[in-house]
Structure 1
Amino acid sequence: MEIIGLSGTNGSGKDFVGELLAREYNFMFISVTDLLRAEATLRREPVEREVLRSISAEWRRESGLGVLVEKAHQEYLKVADKYDGVVIGSMRNPGEADAIHELGGVMVWLDADARIRYDRIQVNVVARNRAEEDNKTFEQFIAEEEAEMHLPEGGDIAQLDGQAVKDRCDVFIVNDGSEADSIRAAIAELLS
């Protein structure tokens, strides 16, 4: 069984990579953000980044820093015989990267120029059905990303800390060009 953890900046192509691995390599793709969206909906809370951050921190405090990976992995184990591996996307806490490594997996970090990422998100806001989350100004986009990338000094370790996740990644992909062009080659190399 292969396990790949995906993380990276907003709009860098994490969902694209997860869907590509599912479609072309028979991986199950589970986005931890989708688990959080489902929980927000169940709680009748708005599906907004701040709500998702709050739920994820709550779960980490209650069940440990790797809880989102554990939940995703449990979902995968129910149907693992149908797949060649699992790709778990959108991890934003270092405990999640550690959990991927503990399962014998590899962590991948995706990034791209901020303006390119913002433009991708805005073009796809309707198609991704995430208007509440993604319909932001560029300045709001950058501010939210900063909040997710760096844990404040003395901050709650259950909060998001993208930089600490990046520091734990094994593979780095810059996705400034056509997603299909740059990513297919990187994925093929990763799986070889």
Structure 2
Amino acid sequence: MYFVGLCGLNCSGKTTVVNHFKDNKDFGALSLSDMIREELRSRNQEISRNNLRTVGNELRENYGSAVLAERVIKYVEKQTEKKNWVIDSIRHPSEAQVFIDSKYPFLFIKIDCPIEQRYKRALSRKRGEEESISFEEFKEKEDRELHSEKEYSQQLLKTFEKANITIVNEAGVEELQKKLDLAIEEFTKKLKNKDNN
């Protein structure tokens, strides 16, 4: 069993990547945000982007920066079907480090995409506050998220630094899938070579 972790900015295509692994590669799929959603449901709070960010930061502050990743690994280890897992929404370097330090092989992929394309995707999703956001507001919001230095807040830039590879998603789904397949092929080849040595 191994993990593929994903990081990237909003609307970069991480969900498309998750679906590719889930539907075409028979991976299990989890998001660190799933752990926050569980928490929000237990509190009867709305599952919004703002609440996910706020409660995620609160959980990190109360239980440590890596709490969401730790909960994901515990969840996976309880599953009877042992398969590979794709993990989305890794937004803090400590979360990435939990997977890096675990006993399971880990490939950490940053999904990148030009901001103009991501803005168009945000508008087409029509999710709450993103429905009528201007390009300038979208960019400002992203800059705030990127440059938070609080220990328990999202630290995207530092998280991106831990990625093994960056895949640029700007030429359509088919091209993205080819890049992902190549990355997995190279990763599994290295694992086999390591096992044989």
TM range (shorter): 0.7 to 0.9
C-alpha distance in 1, partners of 2:108/2:84?
14
1:107, 1:168 within 8 Å by CA — same for their partners in 2?
yes
Unaligned runs of 5+ in 1: 126-130
Name the larger-Rg structure: 2
Match of 2:160 in 1: 166
Match of 1:57 in 2: 57
SS in 1 for 2:11: coil
One-letter amino acid matched to 2:139:
I
C-alpha distance in 2, partners of 1:38/1:13?
23
C-alpha distance in 2, partners of 1:58/1:10?
21
Match of 1:101 in 2: 100
Match of 1:116 in 2: 117
What is the percentage of aligned positions where both structures have the same residue? 25
Match of 1:10 in 2: 10
**Cα displacement (A) at 1:162:** 0.6
5 Å matches for 1:16-165?
Answer: 16-79=16-79, 81-103=80-102, 104-125=105-126, 131-132=127-128, 134-135=130-131, 136-152=133-149, 156-165=150-159
Match of 1:189 in 2: 182
- The count of residues paired between Structure 1 and Structure 2 equals 182
C-alpha distance in 2, partners of 1:147/1:182?
31
**Cα displacement (A) at 1:159:** 0.4
Q: Return 12-21 or 56-65, whichever deviates more.
A: 56-65
**Cα displacement (A) at 1:10:** 0.6
- 1:140 to 1:48, Cα distance in 2 relative to 1, 3 A: farther
**Cα displacement (A) at 1:4:** 0.9
- 1:53 to 1:108, Cα distance in 2 relative to 1, 3 A: same
Unaligned runs of 5+ in 2: 186-197
C-alpha distance in 2, partners of 1:144/1:43?
26
Q: Return 160-169 or 27-36, whichever deviates more.
A: 27-36
TM-score when normalising by structure 2: 0.84
TM-score when normalising by structure 1: 0.86
C-alpha distance in 1, partners of 2:28/2:2?
10
One-letter amino acid matched to 1:144:
K
Deviations 1:113-170 (A, max 9, x none): 1110111122233xxxxx2353333222222211221224xxx211011100111110
- 1:32 to 1:170, Cα distance in 2 relative to 1, 3 A: same
